[in-house]
């Protein structure tokens, strides 16, 4: 009997197929939509019912521009992330809860563990984490060879992601499915299906033929407000050493967190599959709250210094 394995992140499979790239491939219908222009520019077959909204070209250009801003905004906003882990997607209560204060740190993010009610685990551990974050931000704000190399790696990963994102514009067709109200806003709903004319040219792009989904665009601002999708056929990965099963699901919601700033508020994964012959199951609900702009490292380090000062901690010299 094979041992059941539960994991809280896609990094568990990363050894087979690089962590970030694995995540993009597994959730191409969603993670890519979360940071991509989304709308296909290919011509649908005559039998398709794809409907372009009024001034569609202008709308798509605005959506593209807005999505490019999302990554940049996330790199300047701290937040609280609460991850609820379940054994199955239908479990009413989580089996484990993890909470972090997530702080942008130039070439990545720093995660400070918190209690389930978003409080410091201990005063000492919290102070130590802030001191470490301060050191990281000071380093990220400098302009030496090591920093240039680190930021160059960030740009390469960004280009890899953007290349894959660009391919989604050809891989899918979008059909307008009406409008829905969310509070005082109107969302335009689109069904996303594979484009039969699209031919995958890379291993990652082959995933697109096995996913479909739905997205909602805020009518007033052209911001993505919600995305969801599911796997329509089993997806084999890493030369068939891993597989994601049909029915696996993803959803993300976004709200305006500050004037003109739309960021995730909720994200859900329900993925099942296997690695080699061992089953895995990923069932997570992530809640994003307490967004606060801290800026790039040179600005963010002052935020941390201010907190350390209030805690009565000696500050590291820049």
pLDDT (average), residues 205-221: 87
3-class SS at 200? coil
Helix, strand, coil tally for the chain in percent (to 5): 30, 35, 35
Q: Is the four-CA dihedral 137, 138, 141, 145 of positive or negative sign?
A: negative
At residue 35, the pLDDT reads: 37
| Among 225, 77, 32, 107, residue whose Cα is nearest residue 40 | 32
Instruction: Tell me the C-alpha distance between 84 and 128, whole Å.
Output: 26
Instruction: Tell me the C-alpha distance between 16 and 232, whole Å.
Output: 23
Highest mean pLDDT among 102-116, 195-209, 215-229, 304-318: 102-116
Q: Which residue has the higher pLDDT, 253 or 314?
A: 253
Instruction: Tell me the C-alpha distance between 271 and 294, whole Å.
Output: 33
At residue 204, the pLDDT reads: 74
3-class SS at 47? coil
| CA distance readout (Å), 107 to 24, 137, 148 | 19, 9, 10
At residue 136, the pLDDT reads: 97
3-class SS at 155? helix
Residue with tokens 């702080």: 103
Q: Which residue has the higher pLDDT, 175 or 170?
A: 175
Instruction: Tell me the C-alpha distance between 188 and 177, whole Å.
Output: 8
What does pTM read for this prediction?
0.81
Query: pLDDT band at 307, cuts 50/70/90?
Result: very high
Q: Which residue has the higher pLDDT, 16 or 101?
A: 101
At residue 238, the pLDDT reads: 66
- In this structure, what DSSP letter does residue 2 have? P
- Structural contact between residues 162 and 37, judged by C-beta atoms closer than 8 angstroms: no
At residue 240, the pLDDT reads: 65
Instruction: Tell me the C-alpha distance between 300 and 294, whole Å.
Output: 5
Q: What is the per-residue pLDDT across 77-94, written as a single tens digit (0 to 9) for each?
A: 999 999 999 998 889 899
Residue 191 has pLDDT above 60, yes or no: yes
At residue 64, the pLDDT reads: 63
117 CB-near residues (< 8 Å, 6+ apart): 99
Q: What is the per-residue pLDDT across 242-260, written as a single tens digit (0 to 9) for each?
A: 888 999 998 999 999 999 9
Q: Locate the domains of the chain by residue range.
A: 5-311
At residue 3, the pLDDT reads: 34
Q: What is the per-residue pLDDT across 22-40, written as a single tens digit (0 to 9) for each?
A: 344 444 444 443 333 333 3
What percent of the chain clears pLDDT 90, i.e. is strictly above it? 46
At residue 172, the pLDDT reads: 82
pLDDT (average), residues 102-116: 95
DSSP string over 268-284: EEEEEEEETTEEEEEEE
235 CB-near residues (< 8 Å, 6+ apart): 25, 26, 207, 210, 243, 244, 273
At residue 13, the pLDDT reads: 40
At residue 305, the pLDDT reads: 96
Residue 55 has pLDDT above 60, yes or no: no
- In this structure, what DSSP letter does residue 99 have? E
């Amino acid at each position: 009997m094979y041992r059941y394995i539960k994991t809280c992140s896609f990094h568990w499979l990363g050894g087979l197929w690089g962590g970030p790239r694995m995540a993009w491939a597994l959730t191409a219908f969603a993670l890519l939509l979360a940071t991509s222009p989304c709308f296909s520019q290919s011509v649908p077959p005559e039998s398709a019912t794809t409907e372009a909204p009024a001034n569609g070209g202008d709308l798509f250009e605005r959506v593209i521009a807005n999505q490019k801003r999302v990554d940049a905004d996330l790199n300047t906003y701290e937040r609280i992330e609460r991850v609820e882990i379940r054994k199955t997607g239908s479990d009413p209560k989580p089996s484990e809860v993890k909470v972090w204060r997530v702080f942008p740190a130039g070439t990545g993010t720093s995660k400070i563990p918190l209690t389930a009610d978003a409080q410091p685990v201990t005063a000492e551990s919290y102070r130590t984490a802030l001191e470490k974050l301060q050191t990281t931000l000071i380093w990220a704000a400098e302009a030496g060879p090591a920093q240039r190399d680190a930021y160059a790696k960030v740009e390469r990963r960004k280009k890899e992601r953007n290349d894959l994102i660009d391919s989604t514009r050809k891989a899918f067709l979008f059909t307008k499915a009406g409008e829905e109200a969310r509070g005082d806003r109107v969302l335009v709903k689109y069904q996303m299906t594979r484009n039969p004319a699209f031919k995958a040219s890379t291993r990652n792009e082959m995933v697109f033929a096995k996913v479909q989904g739905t997205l909602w665009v805020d009518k007033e601002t052209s911001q993505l407000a919600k995305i969801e999708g599911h796997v329509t056929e089993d997806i084999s990965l890493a030369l068939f050493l891993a597989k994601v099963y049909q029915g696996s699901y993803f959803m993300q919601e976004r709200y305006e967190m500050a004037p003109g700033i739309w960021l995730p508020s909720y994200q859900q994964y329900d993925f099942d599959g296997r690695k080699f012959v061992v089953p895995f199951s990923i069932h997570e609900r992530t809640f994003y709250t307490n967004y606060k702009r801290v800026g790039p490292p040179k600005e963010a380090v002052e935020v941390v210094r201010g907190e350390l000062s209030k805690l009565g901690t000696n500050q590291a010299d820049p």
